[in-house]
């Protein structure tokens, strides 16, 4: 499914991936994954370039070349601050046990992919494989995905990572599509995680459509924006077909007026 939009000035975006991608793997016990086992798992994945000669270890951490970037893995013998987890756990409808599972962890592994160039989508794919590999080589109880401020069940994350590809992006792992109910019974949606791709976050402030339809529409538009890098002019229309024409505008966020978002009147 593709969206259609007129030519015009492109969405504001970064010229490359200049910020590190970050995740935290919550653990039952403080234990760093074995570097040889982790790199072996990554090397077995088609399309993932691991520089086996670049491994550097120091204390409870190690770094190595991964594609055009560098991966960093570090053990922190303390829980992830609950202030970072409480909200994401409470709203993780896809993982009802999130609060119970994450509250009991004792340590965590910080996972980072650091680099200044490269395709944001491919970097996210690589980082998803990296995070899944760390989770599979530890006694992980949960994963906190920094870009979208999301939490995930580690086994579900690992299974979904096995199928990730440019044609099958796991947006639900990367982006929070939050649907809420307005006082008048209508629904609103906002995203967290588009910024990691150099894109504006998406907001639908007031929709009379069903929550599932609002969610699916936003997912389709996000996928199109991320993978096709379209030119979307402020005030014009876009949609999933030639006949669907949804007005798109650049506007201050309904939650933070200092942030400009892509508002869709769906």
In angstroms, the CA 164 to CA 156 distance is 13
Residues of the chain scoring pLDDT < 50: 1-17
Domain ranges of the chain: 21-166, 173-264
pLDDT of residue 15: 36
Contact 21, 146 (CB under 8 A): yes
Q: What's the residue count for the chain? A: 266
Report phi then psi at 215, rounded to 5. -60, -50
The side-by-side arrangement of strands in the sheet containing 202-207 is 176-181, 187-192, 202-207, 260-264, 246-252, 237-238
User: DSSP of the chain, one letter per residue?
Assistant: ---B---SSPPP--SS--S-EEEEEEESS--PPPHHHHHHHHHTSTT--EEEEEEEEETTEEEEEETTEEEEEEEESSPPPHHHHHHHHHT-TT-TTHHHHHHT--EEEEEEEE-S-S-HHHHHHHHHHHHHHHHHTTTEEEEEETTTTEEE-HHHHHHHHTT-BTTB--HHHH-EEEEEE-TTS-EEEEEESGGGGT-PPEEEEEE-S-HHHHHHHHHHHHHHHHHH-----TT-EEBSSSS--EEEEEEE-SS-TTSEEEEE--
Give me the residue label for tokens 């995203």: 191
Name the CA dihedral angle for 4, 6, 12, 18, rounded to a multiple of 10 degrees: 50
Give the pLDDT score at 39. Answer: 94
For 131, residues 6+ apart whose C-beta sits below 8 A from its C-beta are 23, 25, 111, 143, 145, 157, 161
From residue 135, alpha-carbon distances to 30, 97, 176 in Å are: 13, 18, 21
pTM for this predicted structure = 0.89
Residues 6 or more apart whose CB falls under 8 angstroms from that of 195 comprise: 147, 201
The predicted pLDDT at position 18 comes to: 55
* Cα–Cα distances in angstroms (integers) from residue 107 to residues 69, 72, 90, 104, 227, in the given order: 26, 17, 20, 10, 35
**Which pLDDT tens digit goes with each residue over 138-178?**
999 999 999 999 999 999 999 999 999 999 999 999 999 99
Give the per-residue pLDDT at 17.
42
- Smallest CA-to-CA distance from 144 within 96, 111, 122, 189 is with 111
């Amino acid at each position: 499914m593709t969206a259609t939009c007129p030519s015009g000035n492109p969405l504001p975006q970064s010229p490359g991936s200049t910020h590190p991608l970050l995740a935290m793997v919550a653990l039952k016990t403080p234990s760093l994954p074995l570097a040889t086992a982790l790199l072996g798992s990554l090397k077995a994945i088609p399309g993932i370039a691991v520089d086996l000669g670049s491994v550097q270890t120091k204390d409870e951490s190690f770094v190595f070349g991964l594609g055009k970037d560098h991966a960093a893995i570090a053990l922190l013998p303390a829980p992830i601050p609950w202030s970072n987890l409480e909200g994401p756990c409470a709203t993780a409808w896809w993982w009802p046990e999130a609060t119970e599972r994450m509250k009991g962890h004792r340590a965590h592994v910080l996972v980072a992919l650091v680099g200044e160039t490269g395709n944001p989508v491919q970097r996210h794919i690589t980082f998803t494989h990296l995070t899944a590999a760390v989770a599979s080589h530890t006694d992980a109880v949960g994963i906190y995905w920094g870009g979208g401020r999301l939490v995930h069940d580690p086994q579900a994350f690992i299974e979904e990572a096995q199928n990730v590809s440019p044609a099958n992006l796991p947006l639900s792992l990367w982006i929070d599509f939050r649907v809420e109910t307005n006082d008048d019974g209508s629904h609103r949606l906002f995203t967290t995680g588009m910024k990691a791709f150099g894109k504006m976050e998406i907001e639908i402030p007031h929709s009379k459509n069903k929550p599932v339809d609002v969610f699916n529409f936003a997912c389709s538009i996000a996928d199109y924006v991320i993978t096709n890098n379209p030119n979307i002019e402020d005030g014009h229309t876009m949609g999933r077909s030639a006949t669907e024409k949804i007005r798109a505008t650049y506007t201050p966020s309904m939650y933070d007026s200092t942030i400009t978002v892509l508002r869709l009147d769906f």
